[in-house]
Structure 1
């Protein structure tokens, strides 16, 4: 079995340089890095990960906490973070918190016990105070989809209030006045912010909150179905339903179809997130772009820069602006 000394000799560089290449140190030129990698490959050298970790005090692993492991939204986040870090020689350990404080705390403790060099967290149940304390610990942490006062430089968020406003304004611009809203669980700040944007757009158009019926869903498809059926039953004349995410919008469209209500001829439906399946629904879903992949990429680049001294190729941004993605599920109000 080849040794690090043989790699050093074959590449014509010092042991320290070989070590820097193995640890992903940015201070090595690309030409030198390639010489070392070629020598390692030709000799069949396999670095001892444990020895590397002890020598550098790095494990080259980053912990990623998400709320759920299923669905397009978190799938996009996980795949983007993994790809960015993998391209830089790092590995990702993923765990889920299931929007439960105890589970999130246990998941973060697990990632810390794995000696992760840094954490990227999509945490929804733990307190802001806990996240601020975590940010002050020895393990660097980036927070996705949550703005925490005092650690804004570590947070990567979309303007959810503006996104909710954009969705409702698009519906109002099509002449709709009888508008229902299916929110996410209102214990979540992103759900509250999107609803606040909805109310702001209504107010600008002289529509009272009481005129727009609200159904509190849970971000899953079934609550979109139940919410749409409830709104249609309780509010005759409803011409549009805005949903706080695409999964619930998909359920709402299914419920409308099964109730014999045509989309968008009799009922327009708008979602939020612009996940992959939204463009394959029938009709294709009008939605608000929630750049979760861009947020994940930026958080990963921030970790690489802060922890591993890998300079980001683009400026680090923390606030992302949502945009409307207009498709066929939004049409003119029947009486407009």
Structure 2
């Protein structure tokens, strides 16, 4: 097995310099880095991560649990984290919890058993108490897209009440007073908070919340289509639809089109998240910007601060949404 000493001799540098190259230290000059990398390639050197982790008690790996890998939302969030962690020479192990309590717990335990140094958790089914207890153990963890007061310093979240409020206020400012609402799955905190923001905007405008105008979806496009059909079965009158995410908004627009109702001529539609394809629709989707990549970035910075002692990383715990006006809303 090729050793660091052999690499240092081939490159004409010290063993400490080889170690700095392996650990991607910024202090190494580029020409020196190239000498070391060439020597490693010539000798077929492979860094023994297991041996290094036993010596340092660090594996340089971060466990990451998300509900699913489908769609651009979680991909964008993980990309924000991965960019920060890769620059710090850390690696991600990704697992999916599928919004199921037992699966989320199983994946968290699996990542811990693999000696991950820290965890980034976007979990929806496990209880607050479970996460509180986990945070009080030795493994550093950060919870994303969820706020738990008792461990607020471990949470990176969006002000979803504010976001829901901004969406409905925009419709009201355009003169809409009969506004349907397509909610996400109501066991999820972000769904509850976005609906609460919707209600606050109605109340502020002196409009009564009408439960019959609200349909629960599941954040998938098909549930947006189904919600519009359900509103038709209820024979509800509305001139605008606020949706708890962009995918459901797209489904709603498709269902309205099949019913012969044009967006925004007949019905205004607003989404939530501002995912990548929202601006490519015709017309472009009016939505609430969710800085999901930034949340992933902040989560990774939290990990570097708390698990690896890199206290130079600046971060925020609560990010603010903002309105993005495009072509699916118009004055009533």
TM-score tier, shorter chain, comes to: over 0.9
Shift of 1:221: 0.8
* Contact 1:268-1:330 within 8 A present in 2 as well: yes
Shift of 1:236: 4.4
1:80 counterpart residue number: 80
1:138 counterpart residue number: 138
1:1-336 to 2 correspondences below 5 Å: 2-9=2-9, 10=11, 12-13=13-14, 15=15, 18-19=18-19, 22-23=22-23, 30-31=27-28, 35=32, 38-44=35-41, 45-210=45-210, 213-313=213-313, 315-333=314-332
- Provide the C-alpha distance between the structure 2 equivalents of 1:86 and 1:102, rounded to a whole number of angstroms: 30
Q: Which moved more, 1:232-241 or 1:198-207?
A: 232-241
Where in structure 2 are there 5+ consecutive unaligned residues? none
4+ runs of 1 displaced by more than 6 Å?
Answer: none
- TM-score, with normalisation over the residues of structure 2? 0.93
Which secondary structure does the structure 1 equivalent of 2:28 belong to?
helix
- Provide the C-alpha distance between the structure 1 equivalents of 2:19 and 2:245, rounded to a whole number of angstroms: 47
- Provide the C-alpha distance between the structure 2 equivalents of 1:21 and 1:54, rounded to a whole number of angstroms: 19
Q: Which moved more, 1:170-179 or 1:109-118?
A: 109-118
Equivalenced residues, count: 328
* Contact 1:59-1:115 within 8 A present in 2 as well: yes
Q: Does the C-alpha gap of structure 1 residues 310 and 56 become closer, same or farther in structure 2, counting only changes over 3 Å?
A: same
Q: Does the C-alpha gap of structure 1 residues 61 and 223 become closer, same or farther in structure 2, counting only changes over 3 Å?
A: same
- Provide the C-alpha distance between the structure 2 equivalents of 1:17 and 1:137, rounded to a whole number of angstroms: 36
Shift of 1:123: 0.7
- Provide the C-alpha distance between the structure 1 equivalents of 2:199 and 2:281, rounded to a whole number of angstroms: 27
TM-superposition CA deviations, 1:16-47 (whole Å, max 9, x none): 564455346xxx66136973663243243321
Q: Which moved more, 1:241-250 or 1:206-215?
A: 206-215
- TM-score, with normalisation over the residues of structure 1? 0.91
* Contact 2:178-2:237 within 8 A present in 1 as well: yes
Shift of 1:185: 1.1
Where in structure 1 are there 5+ consecutive unaligned residues? none
TM-superposition CA deviations, 1:142-174 (whole Å, max 9, x none): 110000112111110000000000000000000
Q: Does the C-alpha gap of structure 1 residues 197 and 250 become closer, same or farther in structure 2, counting only changes over 3 Å?
A: same
TM-superposition CA deviations, 1:64-110 (whole Å, max 9, x none): 00011101111111222222212221111111111110010011011
The alignment's C-alpha RMSD in Å is: 2.0
Q: Does the C-alpha gap of structure 1 residues 197 and 31 become closer, same or farther in structure 2, counting only changes over 3 Å?
A: same
